[in-house]
A and B are shown apart, each in its own frame.
Chain A
Amino acid sequence: MPCGWSLKATKARTSKLTSSGQPAQQLAILLQSQRIRLNSALLLAVSASLLFILQCYLLASLFAGWLITSQQGLPVNSDQLLNSLPWLVLCLLGRPALQYWREQLSLQASQHIRSSLRVQLLAKLADAGPAKNQYGNDGSLSSKLLEQVDALDGFISRYYVQRYLVLITPLLLVAATFVYSPLAAVILLITAPLVPLFMILLGNAAATASQRQLQQLSRMSGRFLDLVRGMATLQQLQATERAGQSVANAAGRYRDSSMNVLKLAFLSSAVLEFFSALAIALLALYLGLGLLGILPWAKEVIPVPYQGALFILLLAPEFYAPLRQLGSDYHAKAQAEAAIDGLSPILQRQAWQHPGTQQLTLNSAPDIELQQLHILTAGQRQRLAPVSLSINSGGRIALQGPSGCGKSSLLHALLGFVPYQGDILINRHPLTRLERNHWQQQLGYMAQYSSIAAASIAANLRLAAPDATDQQLITALQQVELWPLIQQLPLGLNTVLGERGRGLSGGQLQRLALAQLLLRDAKVWLLDEPTAHLDGATAYRLHQLIGTLSQGKTLIIVSHQLHGLGWLDNIMRLSNPAINPAVNPVEGAQYVQA
């Protein structure tokens, strides 16, 4: 039953300001679901810009009215102010209100996207099962799911709207300016495209530089973390002062290299500042000299009357404001792209759905037959060279082989997490025809690190068997020879273990895991190096115990060490597919008598 799958290789991220590579596309896909909220936010922001134009118009008219009246020596009364007051209040109070609602909508959108992304990522990880660790260890997976997903916030709640606003607002303002003075509009229009141009030029340089700086930062943090983690050793060696010097040097180097980058990076925002300030100054001079009628090319003529001049002058700062805001939100985009880049291997994992629907209830240990079982990695590399073997009902075998030869993958295929080629037959039923959940419930699985939570011993055992009575728990603990120890503890079964079972030794934890297995009464046991991290004597005793307890079960154990495993029916050696890619299926698996 061929279940081929493929996964596109992720392209290396290009960090150019203008690039619309993979991360950008993936971000766009993520935003799809919240488009209504985000577009409404954009609409509100545009309305706020329109209100701003109206506000400038009202103020310009008001001041122009006052200026002309006072110039003509007429008494200034408050009629004009009273007339425009309602509109002015609307603008002055309306803008902050629109801004507030825009933020609310963006924040809600961000919240929805992030929580649904987490659900999606967790589903992918559950799908991958034990293969989840190809995406990183648990610590880095959790920081991907938490911090990296949260790193998208700035992009969703600020950058997305700002990206459109940076085009729309200046165009609206230029249009408004054009009504009064085409030349002023031209000044604005000329300086505007220069800004993105400079930003691209400088931004590209700054982006590559900041990429390097990020690496440096992670090196510095790495050095710090590395030394702090080994503090006990450093104290022992009395080397803390030298190590502290090394921390200081690394931080100092980071500061100096950062400053070089920042000099460049801030230049792009300085360019923006410069254009914004220059345009205001230019406009003020042009309009002011024009009002005096002493422009070199238009003597004795007033090109823009006072009301229009003031209107334009009030608008001008706002022309550059969205660009400046975008500049400061740009790091939100870079952050989000880096984050989505880290998440994309998980997101792009192609869901492999175990196809079967048949329910096979095992009343006794089944026989298992592998026919030309062959597993490929996502990149179509061979993970497990074709293997054929059969285990009788109640047969117990070990798998051995160099690391990377696919021992664990074979177990993962049997668990139903990995697609494969060839056949796996359980009591002569193909595994892919069985319903996965139902099949998995009948399996006992144990890995190098046991599944022990920071909870009481009883709660840990009941994770595996929720309905077990205290007596059943005690029986299981007696079988794994832990009861004498636990009995002595003041709280007995209710003794609370620390994180990852702290309080018990490695061997004791694996015994507890065996008790979990016994409580499940599974007919098939799949054990993936259960003793790898234990010392020889403890491993030996655990192996013996497994031998005693697994009688009558069909069992496959992956193990480097063989002592204590005399009870096995067979030992199978797998060869490494990477070393011998064109492996002959017959040579790929050979039986060795135990």
Chain B
Amino acid sequence: MFKPENLPAPERSIRLRSLLQSRSKAWLLALLLGLATLLAAATLLALSGWFISAAALAGLASVGAYGFDYFRPAAIIRLCAIGRTAGRYAERLTSHYAALSLLKDLRVHSFSALAQQQHNNHHSADTLQHLVGDIDLLDQFPLKVVAPWLWACSLTLLVLLFWYLLAPPLLFAAAPCLLLALALPLLSVRHAKALALQDTDASTQRRRLLLEPLSMLTSLLLWQRWPDNISQFSVQDQACLNLQLRQQQLISRTALLQQSLLALSLLALLWQGNALVAANLLSVPLLLAAMLALWALYEVLLPLCQSFIALGLSSAARDRLNRLTDVSAPTPLNKPEPAAPFSLNVNRLSARQSGALVGPSQVSFTLQSGEVLLISGASGSGKTTLLQALANQLVFCGDITLNSLLYDEWQLSNTLAYLPQQTDLFDLTLAQNLRLAAPDATDAMLWQVLGDVALSNWAQSQPQQLDTVIGEYGAAVSGGQARRLALARLLLTQRPVLLLDEPFAGLDPATTAHMLNALLAHQRNGLLVIVSHQQLNVPHAKQLQL
């Protein structure tokens, strides 16, 4: 639940309080500018009221036309008018600059937090989409919670002070209702937060109830099961909409009560003002100014009603973000790196992918530098799982020792190279994609590895060659090409242990032979493990059948 202060928050987790700290100067400027703007608006209204009343009084006395100093109020009125406009403009620019900077910081922060996680391949695209949305929600905290409250409190204070200076009884009469109106939104805190939490859960549930039938639409239609699946979704959708409605209603009701309290405060002010004017303790123009100052507060207090919904949303977003980017204790980096020659010894290894029902069990083998291991087996027999365990990407039972030491005792990040079945190419150019592995690689080296995976002809036929953009916005590469590019990138890392999952799937025999020879040459002094359903012709290779 929402209690950031009581949470033993991990070092890198996000707190709402600290959102303002990273760009504190920009936020401070924005808050001050906003305050000045609102003050100018209130002054403009109150001073204008006082001005025409005082002018009327002077005009009636018909002396004032000459004795009444109208230059100063007129100048202040013009100043306030300009100040209000310029202040609002500057405030918006500064606060948005600060908010955008905050989003930048948050993105970088979440990215590096995710980068420190050990096994993060369980995040679905959907989760990540939400991550982006949650980051965008966090700027609501400074913009919709902190700023409105700061402005409302300071302005209320100034108005109360103004009343006190005019006549203390005025303050005593009108202040209680005004303070109640200010504090009223606090009553909705608990409810608003609960609603925001429910909202998150209900939307997740709703998405699930839609995605599943949608993914099996045709079958469900044929089986006549679409209507009942969709009616389940509709019930959940209705629940979500009702929840949204309840949030809105909470805002509306708070606003209704707040405005009514302000109305009562206004009436109290008038009632007390009447008595003060009757007793000649207060002039009518000043009473009008007192009333108009209160009037100006309406606009300042109203945003408070929805501030707690925003708070609930951003704290829910913060919790999700922290859960997702939760970092386990970083592993110390002072372990030794293994050196050639290599000897890999696997003893009674068993592993399961999370959620999998089966996996490889009790596998044992040894492999020396220069040797090749070919793993084959039926689909579902756990070839991929075994390879992931070898790549140190999966928790396993049993022992894997490299050069007589357990995996845990080595720093392996520069030793193991693993090519999964699902590879990732990024929205970058071909060269940039390859250079992720080796930032300093020359063009010649890039062409060399492209040749190794039989893609140099393809790359040469692209109009922009190495600068061809790959991915969503660029040239599409086929699944097979993408995997070969990923392999080329892996070769650039020059790591001694190469673990490849189905590197030749969908290739013709000639290309397979070419790539296989290049790989064998590349790994002359290292270890090569290949999972393949094809029969590969490698003399002296060790075979493992799962």
Contact = CB atoms under 8 A, between A and B. Distances in A.
B439 A130 contact: no
Nearest to A273: B85
A226 interface: yes
Interface string B210-251: 111011111111111110001001100110011011001100
Contact of A277 (B84, B92, B260, B287): B84
Contacts of B256: 96-97, 99-100
Given A104-B249, A292-B70, A228 B131 contact: yes
Interface string B376-418: 0011100000000000010000000000000000000110011
Nearest to A307: B56
Contacts of B70: 288-289, 292, 294
A242 B278 contact: no
Interface in B23-60: 41, 44-45, 47-49, 51-53, 55-60
Contacts of B275: 78
Interface stretch (B121-129, B165-173, B343-351): B121-129
B502 interface: yes
A100 B380 contact: no
Interface stretch (A194-202, A254-262, A425-433): A254-262
Interface string B248-269: 1100110110011001001100
Given A225-B132, A280-B81, A445 B219 contact: yes
Contacts of B291: 59
A288 B51 contact: yes
A454 B114 CA distance: 27
Interface residues of B, number: 143
B93 A259 contact: yes
Given A251-B103, A277-B81, A302-B59, A534 B379 contact: yes
B423 interface: yes
A57 to B, nearest CB: 15
B100 A291 contact: no
- B interface: dominant SS: helix
A75 interface: yes
Given A138-B215, A288-B74, A516-B219, 4 more contacts: A92-B266, A114-B241, A262-B92, A507-B380
19 contacts: A63-B53, A63-B287, A67-B284, A70-B277, A76-B278, A107-B248, A129-B217, A130-B218, A142-B210, A251-B103, A255-B97, A259-B96, A284-B52, A291-B52, A292-B70, A306-B52, A454-B208, A507-B380, A508-B380
Interface of B: 41, 44-45, 47-49, 51-53, 55-62, 64-65, 68, 70, 73-74, 77-78, 80-82, 84-86, 88-89, 92-93, 96-97, 100-101, 103-104, 107-108, 111-112, 114-115, 117, 120-121, 123-126, 128-129, 131-132, 203, 206-208, 210-212, 214-226, 230, 233-234, 237-238, 241-242, 244-245, 248-249, 252-253, 255-256, 259-260, 263, 266-267, 270-271, 274-275, 277-278, 280, 283-285, 287-288, 291, 355-358, 378-380, 393, 413-414, 417-418, 420, 423-427, 436-437, 439, 471-473, 486, 489-490, 493, 502, 505, 533-534
Interface of A: 59, 62-63, 66-68, 70-71, 75-78, 81, 85, 88-89, 92-93, 95-97, 99-100, 103-104, 107-108, 111, 114-115, 118-119, 122, 125-126, 129-130, 132, 138-139, 141-143, 145-146, 150, 153, 157, 219, 221-244, 247-248, 251-252, 254-255, 258-259, 262-263, 266-267, 269-270, 273-274, 277-278, 280-281, 283-285, 287-289, 291-294, 300, 302, 306, 309-310, 313-314, 317, 415, 417, 437, 440-441, 443, 445, 447, 449, 451-454, 463-464, 485, 489, 495, 498-500, 502-508, 516, 520, 534-538, 541
